[in-house]
Chain A
Amino acid sequence: MTRGLRAALSRNLGLLLAVGLFAALYGLYSAQHPRGGSAALLVQNSNESFALILAAMAQTVPVLTGGLDLSVGPLMTLVNCLASRVLSGGPVELAFGILACLAAGTLGGLVNGCLVVYGRMQPIIATLATGAVYIGIALFLRPTPGGAVNADLSAMLTYDLAETAAVLGVFDGGQAAWFQPFAPIPVPLLLVLAVLLFVWVPFRGTEMGRGCYAVGSSEGSAYLSGIDVDRSRLAAYTLAGLFAAMAGLYLALQTGTGNADAPQAGAYTLNSIAAVVIGGTSLFGGSGGVVGSLFGALVLRSISFNFRVFDEASWLGALADPLLQPLFEGMVLLIAVSLGAARALRIRNRLQLFG
């Protein structure tokens, strides 16, 4: 058992590192914050993190196959703008609206996959191009920021369980005594768990999901083994599209509007790649996973949280300048990448370094 445990530890070193880094950074933040550790703060922080977490999850799957998806941010933005148009009306209309948003994102991912698999394009180029197209469509849907997302739906999914119960009018509007221990749980936290449990875990457990790892680890071996390489790759980009759609949808619920903001889309894409790397997924493909990226995203967010609360008078005063934030994020990323690159030290045939 200890051997299995050690193997599991070494396999998940990147993940553990991200978890540790997050714990340290968020701990520091909570200690500095006047309301540190309070439920309200937790709700606020999880709200601010959820969209990036989903974007990082979206990025993870293509990266596992040895690819990259530069259209994660733009696709999010597209779905965000679509949501600002369709998320209104009664419950039935809202349900259809949500489905339409998810379908649009999935379709976008499928298009990426088709270009990579059947168009034989480099993933970077294919998704760079489709990313521009998706931003274009987003601008067409929403030339200027605006729109109105159903406020009840927004309230239901972006606060805590008490709010959800109040909106739905269940458990005495959230006032039932037995419900009180659960009331402060942030809804985004539950949504993350739901996505992991009902999307990622089943996907990993299919031949297609394992195929993604196999293709990223050694495409030749995967092909010789009889894996349907094309289908796995297609599935990876499609699932990325679905995750990006969830991210865009959540962004719409959170902001209540649609905004075809190209710089923001680019920032989401780049941060998603950074989160994937910090979370221990290899950019060469084949190892890592969505859970690592989740913590990678949390690490990035925790850094920015900290810059809000650094007190100039404290021992961390030197860091109080918010202009230092990109520098700090960059350093964390560099450390994560260096640890990933340590494999170069173990290679015995130097020609393999270039292979």
Chain B
Amino acid sequence: MTDATAPLLELRDVSKSYGGVHALRNVDFAGRAGSIHAVLGENGAGKSTLMKIVSGVIRPDTGEMRLDGRPVAFASPREAVAAGVVCVFQELSLVPDLSVADNICITDPPRRFGLIDRRAQRRVAAALLDRVGCPGLDPRTRVKDLPLAQRQLVEIAKALGRNPRVLVVDEGASALSGAELARVFAVLREVRDGGALVIYISHRMNEIRELADRCSVFRNGRHVETFDAHTRGHDDIIRMMIGREMTGVFPAKPAAPRDYPPAIRVDHLSWDDRLRDIGFTIGKGEIVGLGGLDGQGQRELLLALFGVLRGVEGTVAIDGRPRRIDGPAAAKAPDIAMALIPEDRKTEGLVLAMSVADNIALSSLGGHGGGILIDRARLESDVESMVRSLQIKVGDVNRAVATLSGGNQQKVVLAKWLMTKPRILLLNDPTRGIDVGTKQEIYALLRRLADEGVAILLFSTDLAELIGCCDRVLVLYRGGIARELAGDDITEMNILGSAFDVALTGSPGPARAAGAEVRP
């Protein structure tokens, strides 16, 4: 290189939107060779979209990317890899049915007589595994038989084997801790010292402090600032990630905290290695928020409560009596009366081709009249009253639900479950991708339900929503409750601080996630 400060990778004015939602807006980014560059931002800030553009998974709508000063446009991850841009993916790019060695050498394996040389491939894999601190792993093991932490190490070994000039690690070490993590950090530093650019995305602020030379902060799809690490404190960085105004879209909370009679009590709930010893109660009439960064176990917790997961340990007591809930059918039975508004309304919440009325009636077909046959007249009047009370904007309830806007579709999902008259309502990010007006109506609805005595557990990726709606917020970190916030403690600083698991000046340090540091 002629100029030591010229960026190795540069993005100029890059934008990307999905169906009208801007994931990235006019983003500039530059990373130098021989540095570790951390990319920070809260959920939906655009980090992963940016990395997908860099590694050729998606193409930007506008803007250009330069590598070594030359414009490049990758049509696929293949082309990116060929140019030396390698990504350790958050969702892992390993093929489960192939062996570790096959995966590490999946493109460009060692060859003999034109065919893949399995023995040489095993040697290559073993050497790379050794380098990432996983020497005992047999390269012939199938990837699907490995635990997540080892898969991440294999994924990193695979990336190293491609001799990257730009190595993107997108949450690629999230399951590692202790000695494994230290070893991976050492390897990343080796890669940097070899003259490559390492782009590191993590939700763990302490890792970034330890590893990064430079940091870039993103917010709402925009680049906020790039600076040398160690020049800013945690508080500054978190403030950069928040940086937005609160608006008065939320209904008033009860003035003073009340004593709610408990509706559901959860003790020592664990599942796989995704949920760790979770315990909490929700009172009748209380809205409890579930916060934290993506993928810390929030969705699994909701599914576990709703009986979708198998092998859940711990106890769940409804109205003081321990219950075993072994499926959605049991959960919605009148003696438990639980409802879950699922994550993806298009696949889990609605039958898109069916009419609005049929969708609303779907979960409560047993409840309309006593006989075997559905009492159409009563059903229709129930549906009509639900459409009115939720203000679902639909001319004719017999139209297919697919024709409604996202906000109204979500209201149909809510209506469907409200028809079952739930006493415990679980919501999985119910306002994602919905316009502000509908959001506001949903917030008001939740408060109204709470006032009627429904216990509500609301998972949201939107911080403002947790702050505005909830009486209490549980912040999850790596499958455990990192911190419980109530009343005036529910602030963006506190939630994000606990979500990133850092102690902020002026606020009490968050409890460590149970078991987070005792992984083997």
With A202-B115, A205-B116, A349-B303 in contact, do A11 and B95 touch (Cβ < 8 Å)?
Answer: no
The answer, among A214, A217, A351, for a CB contact under 8 Å with B308, is: A351
The answer, among B94, B97, B103, B145, for a CB contact under 8 Å with A286, is: B97
State whether the Cβ of A120 lies closer than 8 Å to any Cβ in chain B: no
Give bound CA distance, A260 to B163, whole Å. Answer: 56
The answer, among B87, B94, B271, for a CB contact under 8 Å with A221, is: B94
- Tally of A-B Cβ pairs under 8 angstroms: 97
State whether the Cβ of B477 lies closer than 8 Å to any Cβ in chain A: no
Determine, out of B135-143, B174-182, B465-473, B508-516, the stretch whose residues face the partner at the interface. B135-143
A228–B78 touching, CB < 8 Å: yes
Give bound CA distance, A220 to B90, whole Å. Answer: 13
Tell me what chain A mostly uses at the interface: helix, strand, loop, or mixed: helix
With A11-B142, A218-B96, A348-B311 in contact, do A226 and B115 touch (Cβ < 8 Å)?
Answer: no
Give bound CA distance, A5 to B107, whole Å. Answer: 27
State whether the Cβ of A227 lies closer than 8 Å to any Cβ in chain B: yes
State whether the Cβ of B106 lies closer than 8 Å to any Cβ in chain A: yes
- Chain A residues closer than 8 Å to B80, beta-carbon distance: 226
A223–B76 touching, CB < 8 Å: yes
Give bound CA distance, A7 to B141, whole Å. Answer: 7
Interface 0/1 of B131-164, CB less than 8 Å to A: 0000000101110010000000000001000000
B96–A224 touching, CB < 8 Å: no
- Chain B residues closer than 8 Å to A348, beta-carbon distance: 271-272, 309-311
Shortest distance between the CB of B135 and any CB in chain A (Å): 15
B77–A223 touching, CB < 8 Å: yes
Tell me what chain B mostly uses at the interface: helix, strand, loop, or mixed: loop
Within 8 A of A (CB), among B318-344: 327
With A224-B77, A226-B77, A227-B107 in contact, do A3 and B138 touch (Cβ < 8 Å)?
Answer: yes
Give bound CA distance, A228 to B107, whole Å. Answer: 9
State whether the Cβ of A210 lies closer than 8 Å to any Cβ in chain B: yes
- Chain A residues closer than 8 Å to B109, beta-carbon distance: 207, 210
Q: How large is the interface on A (under 10, 10 to 19, 20 to 34, 35 or more residues)?
A: 20 to 34
Shortest distance between the CB of A126 and any CB in chain B (Å): 24
State whether the Cβ of A254 lies closer than 8 Å to any Cβ in chain B: no
Interface 0/1 of A199-221, CB less than 8 Å to B: 00010011100100110111011
Shortest distance between the CB of B440 and any CB in chain A (Å): 31
B308–A207 touching, CB < 8 Å: no
- Chain A residues closer than 8 Å to B138, beta-carbon distance: 3-4, 7
- Chain B residues closer than 8 Å to A202, beta-carbon distance: 115
Shortest distance between the CB of B289 and any CB in chain A (Å): 23
Shortest distance between the CB of A338 and any CB in chain B (Å): 20
State whether the Cβ of A154 lies closer than 8 Å to any Cβ in chain B: no
B77–A225 touching, CB < 8 Å: yes
With A7-B140, A228-B78 in contact, do A350 and B98 touch (Cβ < 8 Å)?
Answer: no
The answer, among B81, B91, B107, for a CB contact under 8 Å with A207, is: B107
State whether the Cβ of B102 lies closer than 8 Å to any Cβ in chain A: yes
Q: Nearest CB to that of A206 among chain B residues? A: B115
A350–B310 touching, CB < 8 Å: yes
Give bound CA distance, A216 to B95, whole Å. Answer: 9
Give bound CA distance, A106 to B94, whole Å. Answer: 31
- Chain A residues closer than 8 Å to B102, beta-carbon distance: 210
With A210-B116, A226-B76 in contact, do A350 and B95 touch (Cβ < 8 Å)?
Answer: no
Q: Nearest CB to that of B81 among chain A residues? A: A226
- Chain A residues closer than 8 Å to B114, beta-carbon distance: 206
State whether the Cβ of B93 lies closer than 8 Å to any Cβ in chain A: yes
With A349-B308, A351-B308 in contact, do A222 and B95 touch (Cβ < 8 Å)?
Answer: yes
B97–A227 touching, CB < 8 Å: no
State whether the Cβ of A177 lies closer than 8 Å to any Cβ in chain B: no
Q: Which 8 A-B residue pairs are closest in the complex by CB-CB distance?
A: A205-B115, A224-B93, A217-B97, A286-B97, A226-B78, A214-B95, A226-B81, A287-B97
- 24 A-B interface contacts by CB (under 8 A): A7-B141, A207-B107, A207-B108, A207-B109, A210-B98, A210-B106, A210-B109, A213-B95, A214-B95, A214-B97, A220-B93, A221-B93, A221-B95, A224-B89, A225-B94, A225-B103, A225-B158, A226-B107, A286-B95, A286-B97, A347-B310, A348-B311, A349-B309, A350-B309
- Given contacts A221-B94, A224-B93, list 15 more A-B pairs with CB under 8 A: A4-B140, A7-B142, A207-B107, A210-B106, A214-B95, A221-B93, A225-B106, A226-B80, A226-B81, A226-B106, A348-B309, A349-B303, A349-B309, A350-B309, A351-B308
Residues on A lying within 8 angstroms of B by beta carbon are 3-4, 7, 11, 202, 205-207, 210, 213-214, 216-218, 220-228, 286-287, 347-351
